Structure 1
Amino acid sequence: MSEAAAQTLHLRMLEAMLFASERPLARSDMAERLPASANLDALLAKLSEFYEGRGVALKKVADGWAFRTADDLAFLLQAETAEQRRLSRAALETLSIVAYHQPATRAEIEQIRGVSTSRGTLDVLLETGWVRLRGRRRTPGRPVTYGTTPEFLEHFNLESITDLPGLDELKGAGLLDSAMPPGTPMPMPNDDPDLSHDEDPLEDDLFAPDVVLEDDE
C-alpha cells in the first residue's frame, strides 16, 4: 500500500472512531486503535481542516477529541437540548461559583451567593456529573470541598477550565453588574485534580452523598 493510500485509510479509521464514539476520545484511545505507523497529530490536523466551515467541527474537549455542531448552527438543536438537565437559578449560581472558586466548600459558596445553599441544589449538581466531591478542608468541622469534572468541560465545550469567560466577557454578556468597582478581583479557575495544601482526602466511608452533605450542614 502506498503512503498516500495508507494515510487515507488511517484518516477514514480515525473519522469513523470519532463519529461512533458517544464521548470525546482521548489520544491514548485513538492511538490504541490505529496502526502503529499512523501519525495521530497529522491526522487530527488534517481532519480538523477538512471539517472547518462545515456543519460539524472537530474540537478538543477536555482531555479528548470529538465532533461538535458548528457554533453558528447550534440554534438548530436548541429545541432538542432545552429539556436536558434544566437547572434552577440557584443551581446555576452554585455551579458557577464551584467552577471559578474550586475547591469550594458549601459555606464558601453561601458566602459568595449571600444566601444559604440547599442540600438539594448540591445533590442535583452531583447527579449531573458536572460537580464532584474533592476532599475535606483542613478547618474546624472539616467541610467537604467541591470541584468540577471532565464531564463539565465536555458539556460546555471547553478544552480546559481556563477557557471560562473572564470578567470583561461576563460583563459584556450582561451576567455581571457593569457598575462593579474598578479592580474587582476575578478568580483564576483551576480544576487541578490534586488536592490543594489545605485539603485532606475523603475518608472511604464518606462517599455516599447523603452522608457527606449532612456532614456539611
Structure 2
Amino acid sequence: MVEAILFAAAAPLSTRDLAARLPAGCDPAEALAALRRRYDGRGVTIERIGDGYAFRTAPDLSFLMQSETIEQRRLSRAAVETLAIIAYHQPVTRAEIEEIRGVAVSRGTLDQLIEMEWVRMGRRRMTPGRPATFVVTETFLDHFGLESARDLPGLTELRAAGLLESRPPTEGMALPVLPEDDDGDDAVDGPADDLFEDE
C-alpha cells in the first residue's frame, strides 16, 4: 500500500501523510524501511526529501533522464547569491541577507525565488518589527538531490570544486561583496512586498 501511494504521489509524502491513508494499525515507517531496502541498487529508489519520501531515479542513472529533466531558467547573480545565503544561513531575514551581501536585496530577487518555489517565508523573528524570515523549500532540496540543508557542501568541498577562492573569506562575510545589485528588478513589485515594509 505504501509503495502504491508513493508511486502515485505528485509530491514527497511524510510518514504522517502515509499513516492518514493507511488502515489503522499499519506502520508506514517500517514499510518505508523495507521498501528502501528492496529498491536499493535498482533503477529507482525511495529517497528521503526533507520530511517526506518519494520515488526517484537512481542517482547513477540520472544521465539517462537528462534530456527530459533539463529546464532552462536563468537566475541573476543577485538571485544566486541570495539563494545561497538563505540555504546556508536559514532562517534568515532580508536585513541579514543584505548585511551578508553588502548591498540591498531588490523585491524582485526574493519574489523570483518564491515563485520558483525554492524559497518560502519562515516564522517571524521575535524581535522588534517581527521581521519575516526566509528558508529553502523541499522543492529546492529535491531539485539538488539533498535530504536536508545539512547536506549542502561545506567550504572545503566548494573550494575543491573551484567555486570559492582558496583564501578564507573576510570575517563575517559568506560571499564576496558586489558594488551593486545587478538583477535589474528594483522596480518590480510582488508577493513579498508586505514583508519589507515592517523591517
Q: Give the aligned partner of residue 185 of structure 2.
A: none
Does the alignment pair 1:114 with 2:102?
yes
Task: Return the index of the structure with the highest Cα Rg.
Answer: 1
* CA–CA distance in structure 2, aligned partners of residues 163 and 57 of structure 1: 18
Cα pair 1:137 1:144 within 8 Å, conserved: no
**1:34 matched residue in structure 2:** 22
Output the CA distance in 1 between the equivalents of 2:73 and 2:44. 23
Structure 1 gaps, min length 5: 1-12, 188-206
Aligned to 1:96: 84
Shift of 1:216: 6.7
**Aligned counterparts of 1:211 and 1:96: Cα–Cα separation in 2:** 23
- 1:209 equivalent in structure 2: 192
Deviations 1:119-165 (A, max 9, x none): 211110111222223325735x7654322233333333322221222
1:65 equivalent to 2:41? Answer: no
Offset, 1:22: 0.7
CA distance in 2, matches of 1:125, 1:70: 27
1:123 aligns with 2:106: no
* Conserved? CA contact 1:144–1:212, under 8 Å: yes
Q: Following the alignment from structure 1 to structure 2, what is the Cα–Cα distance between the partners of residues 148 and 84?
A: 20
Q: Deviations over 1:39-93 (max 9, x none)?
A: 4333212211221112211111111111111112222333333226542332121
Contact preservation (8 Å) 1:106, 1:117: yes
What amino acid maps onto 1:42 in structure 2? E
TM-score under structure 2 normalisation?
A: 0.76
Q: Which amino acid aligns with 2:95?
A: A
Give unmatched runs, 5+ long, in structure 2: 175-189
Counterpart for residue 158 of structure 1: 146
* 2:159 equivalent among 162, 168, 171: 171
The letter for the 2-side match of 1:211 is D
Shift in Å, 1:170: 1.7
The TM-score, its normalising length taken from structure 1, stands at 0.70
Asked if 1:24 corresponds to 2:12, the answer is yes
1:83 pairs with one of 62, 71, 76 = 71
Counterparts of residues 174-189 of structure 1 (less than 5 Å): 174-180=162-168
Contact conserved, 2:107 with 2:192, CA < 8 A, in 1? no
In the alignment, the residues of structure 2 paired with residue 146 and residue 88 of structure 1 have an alpha-carbon distance, to the nearest angstrom, of: 19
* Contact 2:118–2:140 (CA under 8 A) maintained in structure 1: yes
For CA contacts below 8 A with separation 6 or more, give which structure has more relative contact order: 2
The residue matched to 2:18 in structure 1 has which SS?
helix
Structure 1 distance, partners of 2:142, 2:12, is 8
69-78 vs 16-25, greater mean Cα deviation: 69-78
In structure 2, the partner of 1:45 is 33
Structure with a larger share of its residues in helix: 1
Count of residue pairs brought into register by the alignment = 183
Q: Distance in 2 between matches of 1:153 and 1:172?
A: 22
Partner Cα separation in structure 1 for residue 172 and residue 67 of structure 2: 37
Residue 150 of structure 2 is aligned to residue 138 of structure 1: no
